[in-house]
Amino acid sequence: MNTFKKGDKVGKFTVNDFIKKGSIAESYSAYGPDDILYFLKIFDMEAIPTSMLFEGKEVYEIQLCQELQHDNVISFVDKGGLKKGEKNYHYLVTEFYRGELLVESVKRDGVFGPEDAAQITLCVLNGLSYIHSRALIHNDIRPSNIMLQETDDGMLLPTIIDLGHISYMVMGRPTFYVEDLMPFFRAPETFKGIYTPKSDLFSTGALLYYLMFGKAPWEQDLSQCKDDKTLIKEAVKQARKQELVLETEEVKLPDYMKGILKKALAKKPDDRFASAEEFTKALLEQLMPELVKELEQSVPAQEQPQPEEGTEPVPITFKKGSGNGFDNVIGRNDLKEQLRKEVLFALQNPEKAKAYHLPPVNGILLYGPPGCGKSLVLESFAEELGFNYSIIKSADFGNIYQPGVLDNLQRIFDAATIKAPFAICIDEIEGMVPRPSTGEEPVITKESSAFLAMVNGCAQDGILVVATSNRPDMVDPLIMRVGCIDRVFFVPQPDKEARKDLFKAHLKGRPCDAIDYDELAEMSADFNAGDIAETVNEAAMTAAYMDVPISQKILVDVLRFKNPTYSTKTKIGFNK
């Protein structure tokens, strides 16, 4: 039974019709104050585990859907919270599209021919390319999540409409429910908890297959599994040992389409398309070869960075991990606990790690927008770890394509082996190991191979690599694999409690009236530590000029006219 009735008010929206009920949310159509129909999703906060909330407070889908504005992706409109009876709810409002779900279209009219199927897939890839550019993964591309939206000119525009499983890259601990994912549209690695852009591309390949065959690749009846996750996983695994059916009496595919499907549905991620853009290019080369040729001629090929002369050996400085550790990092308790559990515990308790057969962590990446405090977390992590460590700033050190840089790195790794256990900390690793230019196939250069040889399996020598990045998509993918960078952690902007503490820290020792730190924290959403420091300094300057204590009014006046350095939109996109 649905919780809300027609005419109920949810924020400034009025419930119209009930659509469906899920395990943690109910969906409705609703009218806004402009009398336009919207899609309304209401989340039962008691039904959602804290581990599946962004920073333990906000629904991931709501947090990550904000600022997504693209023709092939459903768009965020509003969000909020409400209380009904004794229960708390959060809600998400998105655009409401009139049209037909892809799954309904196939059921009614049958399958699509290769060219029409490719055209629909291109629109989905266009939306995915945008999502991936925001450092996000969709995780649930399937026919029932694609709407053939009716546009004003009568055309049908394929649009990704359901963002219920959207997340950052996941390397073992999903922040969403996986039980409702469609097994045969899932990439093999997702059954191990790994969700990356390439798992989205596998699902898109499965969608392309479905459009032409009317079912998912390798699809079989799973009713005998009776919703048992282990049995379903094993049944899918066994089914995929069979040869992929690429031709039937009813469906005859051209050779190019067979090749595209084989690559998109490769069981190993490294064998698939490298990106949505590469998948798109493979389809366009068959559908519109002249357009591809024209684009290639208009955009000059990217060249590898050219070596620079005169790089000198750099001095190697080491520190002993001591100090305040994570106490230096205000807020971000979820991140600190995750690092303690997944990385620090095994390193600091080698006997217990051996007894429980815990695999050694080789390397970790801390990523997030500029100004969110990654460098502070990096140094605090090294202090908390207690090992010898060295911090390398790629801006000062150079990149691996410059002469002498690889030699300097090898000297550091050699010294670290002697001084092990040791943490090599690389700040802004995308500057040191940039993603090479790509054509048809991923580029593996002699420089990236040399760096890989240093990092690969360095845990066996007692070395941990800890890296940070503003743009993880610009890091050479060769090192973003198990055995090199094993774990990936998102470093968020300061949360509300952290912002309160930052205001307190910066106002400490200055003449102040009574300050409402809760109001300041509410008004400074998306502010990083530097923004807050600048806000307090501006308020202090004003107060000093007026010869009065710093007051709430002065601080609020500064905040009203001050924008964060990186908005939520930029935070999700990492200044891309």
Task: Look up tokens 């962004």; give the residue.
Answer: 54
C-alpha span between 268 and 187 (Å, rounded): 9
Q: Which residues pair with 252 in a beta bridge?
A: 247
Query: CA angle, corner 205, sides to 195 and 283, nearest 5?
Result: 125
| Burial class of residue 180 (count of CB atoms within 10 Å of its CB; 0-12, 13-18, 19+) | exposed
Asked whether residue 467 falls in the same domain as residue 525, the answer is: no
For residue 178 the two structure tokens come to 């996986």
CB 12 within 8 A of CB 2: no
Asked whether residue 476 falls in the same domain as residue 386, the answer is: yes
For residue 373 the two structure tokens come to 């405090």
The amino acid sitting at 246 is L
CB 361 within 8 A of CB 397: no
Asked whether residue 139 falls in the same domain as residue 233, the answer is: yes
Sheet holding 487-490, edge to edge: 319-320, 388-393, 422-427, 463-469, 363-367, 487-490
CB 413 within 8 A of CB 424: yes
> Measuring CA to CA, how many Å separate 326 from each of 53, 386, 389, 526?
22, 12, 16, 22
Domain range for 537: 496-573
Structural domain ending residue among the three candidates 490, 524, 554: 490
Q: Report yes or no on 194 lying in a domain.
A: yes
Asked whether residue 160 falls in the same domain as residue 31, the answer is: no
C-alpha span between 463 and 417 (Å, rounded): 7
Asked whether residue 115 falls in the same domain as residue 182, the answer is: yes
Q: At 241, is the secondary structure helix, strand, or coil? A: coil
Split into its structural domains, the chain has a count of: 4
Q: Give the burial string for 358-380 (b: 16+ CB within 10 Å, else e).
A: eeebbbbbbbbbbbbbbbebbbb
Q: Give the burial string for 330-349 (b: 16+ CB within 10 Å, else e).
A: bbbebbbebbeebbbebbee
For residue 253 the two structure tokens come to 């595919």
Asked whether residue 164 falls in the same domain as residue 256, the answer is: yes
> Measuring CA to CA, how many Å separate 258 from each of 114, 278, 290?
10, 16, 22
> Measuring CA to CA, how many Å separate 164 from each of 29, 181, 201, 500?
16, 10, 18, 31
Q: Report yes or no on 253 lying in a domain.
A: yes
C-alpha span between 10 and 12 (Å, rounded): 6
Q: Write the DSSP symbol of residue 73.
A: B
Asked whether residue 38 falls in the same domain as residue 121, the answer is: no
Q: Report yes or no on 501 lying in a domain.
A: yes
Q: Report yes or no on 308 lying in a domain.
A: no
Q: Are strands 388-393 and 422-427 parallel, antiparallel or unpaired?
A: parallel
Q: Report yes or no on 560 lying in a domain.
A: yes
Asked whether residue 248 falls in the same domain as residue 172, the answer is: yes
**Listed residue (478, 380, 483, 479) closest to 425, CA to CA:** 380
For residue 349 the two structure tokens come to 């308790």
The amino acid sitting at 425 is C
Asked whether residue 280 falls in the same domain as residue 180, the answer is: yes
381: CB partners within 8 A, 6+ apart: 325, 326, 339, 344, 366, 423, 425, 466
Q: What is the CATH number of the domain that holds 242?
A: 1.10.510.10
CB 151 within 8 A of CB 123: no
Asked whether residue 152 falls in the same domain as residue 198, the answer is: yes
Structural domain ending residue among the three candidates 490, 509, 539: 490
Q: Report yes or no on 535 lying in a domain.
A: yes
Q: Report yes or no on 1 lying in a domain.
A: no
Q: Write the DSSP symbol of residue 139.
A: -
C-alpha span between 373 and 240 (Å, rounded): 44
C-alpha span between 335 and 493 (Å, rounded): 11
Q: What is the CATH number of the domain that holds 411?
A: 3.40.50.300
**Listed residue (391, 378, 383, 385) closest to 318, CA to CA:** 391
Q: Give the burial string for 192-223 (b: 16+ CB within 10 Å, else e).
A: eebbbbbbbbbbbbbbbbbbbbbebbbbeebe
Give the number of other CB atoms < 10 A from CB of residue 292: 17
End-to-end CA distance of the chain: 44
Is the alpha carbon torsion for 189, 194, 198, 201 positive or negative? positive
Asked whether residue 507 falls in the same domain as residue 555, the answer is: yes
Asked whether residue 128 falls in the same domain as residue 223, the answer is: yes
Q: Report yes or no on 306 lying in a domain.
A: no
The number of angstroms, rounded, from the C-alpha of 453 to the middle of its chain's C-alpha atoms is 27
Write down the number of H helices and E strands in the chain: 21, 19
**Listed residue (383, 381, 373) closest to 342, CA to CA:** 381
**Listed residue (500, 568, 515) closest to 331, CA to CA:** 500
Give the number of other CB atoms < 10 A from CB of residue 447: 20
Would you write out the chain's pLDDT as a tens digit for each of its 576 residues?
788 999 999 999 999 999 888 888 899 999 999 999 999 999 999 888 877 787 677 888 888 888 677 888 888 899 999 988 888 999 999 988 778 889 998 998 899 999 889 989 999 998 998 888 877 889 999 999 998 877 665 567 888 988 888 887 777 778 788 888 999 999 999 998 889 889 999 999 999 999 999 999 999 998 888 888 899 999 999 999 999 999 999 999 999 999 999 999 999 998 999 888 899 989 988 876 665 555 555 544 444 444 344 444 455 555 665 567 888 787 778 888 999 999 999 888 888 988 998 888 889 999 887 777 788 888 888 888 888 888 888 877 888 888 888 888 888 888 888 888 888 989 889 889 988 765 445 567 888 888 888 888 888 888 999 999 888 888 888 888 777 888 898 887 788 888 898 899 899 999 999 999 999 999 998 788 888 988 999 999 999 999 999 999 999 999 988 877 765 433 333 332
**Listed residue (468, 456, 463, 316) closest to 379, CA to CA:** 468
Q: What is the CATH number of the domain that holds 42?
A: 3.30.200.20
Structural domain ending residue among the three candidates 459, 490, 521: 490
Sheet holding 25-31, edge to edge: 9-10, 13-21, 25-31, 37-44, 87-95, 76-84
